[in-house]
Amino acid sequence: MRVLVTGGAGFIGSHVVEALTASGHEPVVFDVRADPAADVRDPEAVARALAGVDAVCHQAAMVGLGTGFGDAAEYVSRNDLGTAVLLAAMAGAGVRHLVLAGSMVVYGEGRYACPRDGVVRPGPRAVADLEAGRFEPRCPVCGAELAPGLVGEDAPADPRNVYATTKLAQEHLAAAWARSTGGSAVSLRYHNVYGPRMPRDTPYAGVASFFRSALARGEAPRVFEDGRQRRDFVHVRDVAAANVAALRAGSAPGALTAYNTGSGEPHTVGEMARALADAHGGPAPVVTAEYRLGDVRHITADSSRLRAELGWKPEVGFAEGMREFAACR
């Protein structure tokens, strides 16, 4: 199968290209880093790239929380306009298979259970609580402490920042494209992806990259809040393998199917910082109580649907992956 990989020269996209090649597919890289003319927002460039293509793995995106709401127009342009241009070109070219790089950020906060009120959805955290070091959401009904759990794909979407909003819009656009064309669309809702080639020293990089860069400078990783926020750290090679599995399986024509794509093993941000520091040989992390208003407290995935329906499972364990990542140059 000839597969166009948008963002194919990037962190995740380059691993997707390798996984496709290893599986006998023919990847075609479309990325402004490889060719300044390869902008997914350019209809003519996209139309040329789709010639002879059977499917698309859409990895191109502006990622991360960013530096404030001033980034909103750029996020919407790169993520939503770019996706709309790509899908329109796919409709015109008769390409009917799409794998979208989705994200767990569409859920907002994760799943919480109250001992009295059952499963509840806390609202955005208040600045006053964060300033006071009260990081855990409380039950919106009775104010009790909540127990975090795993989020399934049927959970309501509740994006809490600009990036999350654009990722949800990408899914809606893909679903509309599938309905209009009879195409097959899969959204892989990535959790916290890390591994070789991860961007560093940029405001849009992930927290694992920030920690690794600090360690490389001989500085202690600075862990926000109290370090107990839970995430699902999934290795980039496992994410690439999920793309190949999704491409092979497809989805029902005329619909978008979403799959959580995580390791299934929640860890705290503090645990991750300690694992990287230990693998690097120090210095030890410092917990700062700083916060970013757009962050959520806990978000971890139930990835059982991906395992059951596509036969995918993660191969890189947390300890192994962190040791490898700490050694990356």
Note whether 216 and 328 are within 8 A (CB): no
Cα(116)–Cα(78) distance, integer angstroms: 44
Widest CA span in the chain: 58
57 with 243: CB under 8 angstroms? Answer: yes
Q: How far apart are the first and last CA of the chain?
A: 33
Establish whether 163 is a catalytic residue: yes
Distances (CA, A) of 116 to 17, 142, 145, 319: 49, 8, 10, 37
For the chain, what is the mean pLDDT?
95
Digit-coded pLDDT (tens) for 274-317: 999 999 999 999 999 999 988 999 999 899 999 999 999 999 99
The pair of three-digit structure tokens given for residue 282, joined into one six-digit string: 């120090």
Burial class (CB within 10 angstroms; exposed 0-12, middle 13-18, buried 19+) of 282: exposed
Query: Which homologous superfamily does the CATH classification assign to the domain defined by 2-110+151-327?
Result: NAD(P)-binding Rossmann-like Domain (3.40.50.720)
- Are β-strands 111-114 and 118-120 bridged in parallel, bridged antiparallel, or unpaired? antiparallel
pLDDT tens-digit readout, 51-100: 999 999 999 999 987 667 889 999 999 999 999 999 999 999 999 999 99
The whole-number pLDDT of residue 67 equals 67
Q: Which of 163, 190, 194, 291 is catalytic?
A: 163
